[in-house]
A and B are shown apart, each in its own frame.
Chain A
């Protein structure tokens, strides 16, 4: 199992309880954003571009606990910004653990090693470290040379100290599936509990607007990465969501599945798309025009999205929606390596988007043609 049995049991009983009570729209994971400031400045990120007075603000521990109580999910993810920059993060995490919430604290791990002593290992706490690929891929993705080595040092320190450590990998246009598979091997060797992987979303607010995967390429990429998988790999994701990424399953978006709370309030409609804010979780659920979102809505903002925040809950719903869903999920967990000769051929013949020395980026000659230099 990629998560502790107690966590799987808690989530399963929560979902079944929602279904038995006839609740049609229920959240699965609260995305709690206690701050927006970060110690990285990734071009692909749409979360950190705010004026300084906004970046300086933090949610208080009480704000966080109230949001968790309002929402009622069994799992809380803490993205940001970089949560380890929040001065009261240890208090927030301890309060959530005391409430028996399964916490995924998402971090770039630049500060993990030095702040580790502020946290206590618990089955309720996992550090979800963002690592976007092997060394060069990660460093270019986060726009920081040496970022990979620091992050992996943090991973190893946390594993050694007895913490649960998971990873989160976001893939953009130019990702090399062979390198991603080697990256999975490296993460497993480092002792992480399980891995999450997702395509990057076309953040309207991101400075960079040219490196997002379309659905066709996402499916090809994920089919080649996740087929013929190794026994050693453990994933922290719904097997049905991963089949969706591989193009083996059609899912509709569940935009309320991972609601987001930040200093602005409850974000409409989802973690990735900003279309306004509600002051309470109840208001979010009751006043959002949910039919305006998801691929099937025809909303251009949603057209290319295949991200876990919209589709992970859909995968979980599929699992618990019928006996067939349960059986398919059980088969995927215990028996399926997704053997696929076509995917192997795709993998073997995959040509990196750009030539050496760094596969993700253009050559210096091409890069020199770019006229934008501001702010780097």
Chain B
């Protein structure tokens, strides 16, 4: 679930219109999170940063308070009443096991992986399509990224 900041376009639209009268649905405002290292000084900052990490489509690196690190895809978070009973769930980039890390054990968080969705808009595709068409290319497409 995205944070209120990330949801601002939709929230602004819904504040002024009835959902049944909306012609074109607002998308979300995208934040550039790649490379971000959030401050985790307060409980609110910890919760906000981990919510954004849950929403992020790249890997993150978590440094525990004992100095150990977990790098991987943060696919779930479970928010409890305190930081001790809240935890994130990560699939490390090097293994397939699911790792749980309590919010209270997290010393640092960094958005270290590439945002795999960034910049791939329909406009970008159309723009590139016309460029390639003008150059005489055929079978124009967005190729899925290579996995190896």
Contacts and interface: CB of A to CB of B under 8 A. Distances in A.
B41 interface: no
Interface in B111-146: 113-114, 116-130, 134, 138-145
Given A41-B142, A215-B20, A276-B77, A209 B123 contact: no
A147 interface: yes
Nearest to A141: B122
Interface stretch (B21-29, B42-50, B62-70): B21-29
A372 interface: yes
Q: Please tell me the size bucket of the interface on A.
A: 35 or more
Contacts of B19: 214-215, 295, 303-304
A364 B128 CA distance: 10
Given A207-B119, A373-B128, A53 B142 contact: no
A145 B21 CA distance: 35
B107 interface: no
B19 to A, nearest CB: 4
A206 to B, nearest CB: 7
Interface in B58-105: 58-59, 72-73, 75-78, 89, 91, 93-94, 96
B34 to A, nearest CB: 11
B120 A374 contact: yes
A304 B22 contact: yes
Contacts of A362: 123, 126
Query: Interface centre among A202, A217, A300, by most B CB within 10 Å?
Result: A300
A374 B118 contact: yes
A49 interface: yes
A358 to B, nearest CB: 9
Contact of B124 (A147, A275, A370): A370
A39 interface: yes
A216 B11 contact: no
Nearest to B118: A374
A191 B120 CA distance: 35
Nearest to A145: B140
Q: Please tell me the size bucket of the interface on B.
A: 35 or more
Task: Describe A's contact surface by its main secondary structure.
Answer: loop
Query: Interface centre among B19, B96, B126, by most A CB within 10 Å?
Result: B126
Interface string B1-43: 1100011001100100001111111111010000000000000
Contacts of B59: 51, 53
Contacts of A145: 129, 138-141
A290 to B, nearest CB: 14
B116 A367 contact: no
21 contacts: A41-B142, A43-B121, A44-B122, A53-B91, A54-B73, A56-B147, A144-B141, A147-B141, A208-B120, A208-B121, A208-B122, A214-B23, A214-B25, A301-B2, A301-B7, A303-B10, A303-B25, A361-B126, A364-B134, A370-B121, A374-B120
Given A49-B57, A51-B113, A264-B76, 16 more contacts: A38-B144, A40-B144, A41-B142, A43-B122, A51-B58, A51-B114, A52-B145, A52-B147, A54-B73, A205-B57, A215-B20, A264-B91, A300-B7, A364-B134, A367-B127, A372-B127
Interface of B: 1-2, 6-7, 10-11, 14, 19-28, 30, 54-55, 57-59, 72-73, 75-78, 89, 91, 93-94, 96, 113-114, 116-130, 134, 138-145, 147-148
The 5 closest A-B pairs by CB, nearest first: A209-B27, A374-B119, A214-B22, A207-B120, A144-B141
